[in-house]
Amino acid sequence: MVRLENSAHFDCSSTACQEKSMKSKKVAFAVLVVILGMIGLGSVIADSRMKREVTFNKDVAPIFFSKCADCHRPNDIAPMSLLSYKDARPWARSIKEKVVSREMPPWSPDPKYGEFSNDCRLSQSDVDTITAWVDQGAKEGNPRDLPTAPQFLTGGWQIGKPDVTLQIPEEWTVKPGDPDNYINFFVPTNFTEDTWVQAAEIQPGNRKVVHHVIAFVVTPQAMAKRKEAESQGRRPGASSVMYIDGTLRRTKMDAPVNDDGCNTDGASRTRRGGGGEEAEGALLAGYAPGKGIDVLPAGTAKKVPAGSTIMFQVHYSAFAGSLEKPEKDRTRMGLILAKEPPDKMLITSAVANTMFKIPAGAGSHEVTACMTVPIDLEVVTYMPHMHLRGKDMKYEAVYPDGRRETLLWVPKFSFSWQTMYYLKKPLSIPKGTKIIVTAHFDNSAKNKYNPDPAKEVRWGDPTYDEMMIGWFDIVVPNPAKMLKPAPTGKAASGK
């Protein structure tokens, strides 16, 4: 122990030194009083919050309606509804546990990278309110304090009344024990001119059996090619590396393997769809647990060419034997149309690797995919996609000046909660930027969702195969609205 008072360097025998020391002690004492006062004030605030009566109708229901109701409603993917006191009360202690641990509502991105407008995390005040409600006995409160439930909960549309509604032509039945199926339903738009879509909402008819839906825009030309292939006995999706298994596309086990799509030709693909084939067309809208509706930024829209057909690609699943009886579905989609062509058009694109192979038992198998941006553009959303062995995914950009930036980092990917992340501000990406998507897969026995750790795994439609797709929405100028160059020479002078 160093005794400073015995050091000549710290001698304070002079009057000036002693006065200075006394002043320092007074300042330190004053600071200590302020700190203790702040601590005491914080305790008073916390105590008052805990002592104030917290009820479901007045305090908790508004939180549930705004943060939880997308899934926690009747006949949806969550195990219980939170729209009424009667439904929520039996789950009170479990709710407290999940919100205190931050497991609910689900939000996976690392907050150090990107700011997102649909961040659904609860504030600490919300967590404290729910905790106090449970600790006080989970009281119902005055019925007059209960706010009105969101409109969509009664069967309406989150996007408002659609200008156009399209529905698959017939019901599809899923029976207990059925294997996964990807079923394509074709619905004509009957649009006589190019049409611009500002918002889209896909509503599964039965969320118990619909895992996800993608709506593709198939142009008249692409539809004609598809019909020609089918008339010749060729099945869309089949290729030298992929085969058709019932209604599912799967990569052949003996196909070439390319895990590092950034350094190996043929592994990475840039697509405007996401399912794997250009014949599917451009992606218009999608539904997946946790994704939300498709509302495009102001001044942008997606193009649906005249005469196009919408292909609803529906992934049906009996969810590992969870069904007790046959279930029927008839999915539909509502569209809000732009009144005129927008200045900017939005395109859904993706960077994907379709040629990877995950070894049996691998606990953290890395797969990469890359693309080089061909033009200046703006990125407005990200959406990682993998299956049951998906562990994490990262989006990065390497700019033309060599600077490398992490755009999105999802350290704990969940197949059950596939969110589209909407950037608060569009991200400008210059031409020549390299986009790198890196994913890891857990094919070990430690992964409780793993269908079979003993098997090697390749790309495929079913959940027991895998996918590696880094989706993102980009905004580019609308060619139809770009200004024509001013006339020159004779044309300008009229001669």
pLDDT tens column, 137-168: 999 999 999 999 876 545 678 899 999 999 99
Please provide the DSSP assignment of 285-310 as one string. EEE-TTT--EEPPTTEEEEE-TT-EE
Q: Residues 49-58: pLDDT tens digits?
A: 457 899 999 9
Candidate from 15-24, 219-228, 459-468 with smallest mean pLDDT: 15-24
Mean pLDDT of 471-490: 73
Q: Residues 168-187: pLDDT tens digits?
A: 999 999 999 888 888 999 99
Top pLDDT among 454 and 50 is at 454
Q: Enumerate residues 6+ apart whose C-beta is below 8 A from 173.
A: 326, 327, 328, 329
| pLDDT for the residue numbered 265 | 57
Q: Residues 206-226: pLDDT tens digits?
A: 988 998 999 999 999 999 988
| pLDDT for the residue numbered 23 | 52
Q: Residues 104-140: pLDDT tens digits?
A: 998 999 999 999 998 989 999 999 999 999 999 999 9
**Cα–Cα distance measured from residue 413 to residue 419, given in angstroms and rounded to the nearest whole number:** 10
| pLDDT for the residue numbered 239 | 81
Mean pLDDT of 29-50: 44
Token pair recorded at residue 460: 């495929």
Mean pLDDT of the chain: 85
Tokens 């990125």 belong to 379
| pLDDT for the residue numbered 1 | 36
Model-level pTM greater than 0.85? no
Phi then psi dihedrals of residue 199, to 5 deg:
-150, 145
Residue 338 pLDDT exceeds 70: yes
Residue 273 pLDDT exceeds 80: no
User: Closest Cα partner for 353 from 463, 434, 255, 270?
Assistant: 270
Beta-strand pair 344-353/300-304: parallel
Q: Residues 295-315: pLDDT tens digits?
A: 999 899 999 999 999 999 999
| pLDDT for the residue numbered 237 | 65
User: Closest Cα partner for 304 from 184, 434, 164, 437?
Assistant: 164
Residue 289 pLDDT exceeds 50: yes
Q: Enumerate residues 6+ apart whose C-beta is below 8 A from 88.
A: 56, 60, 64, 80, 81, 82, 95
Residue 390 pLDDT exceeds 90: yes
**Do you find a cis peptide bond into 105, omega within 30 degrees of 0?**
yes
**Cα–Cα distance measured from residue 55 to residue 67, given in angstroms and rounded to the nearest whole number:** 17
Candidate from 40-49, 225-234, 240-249, 283-292 with smallest mean pLDDT: 40-49
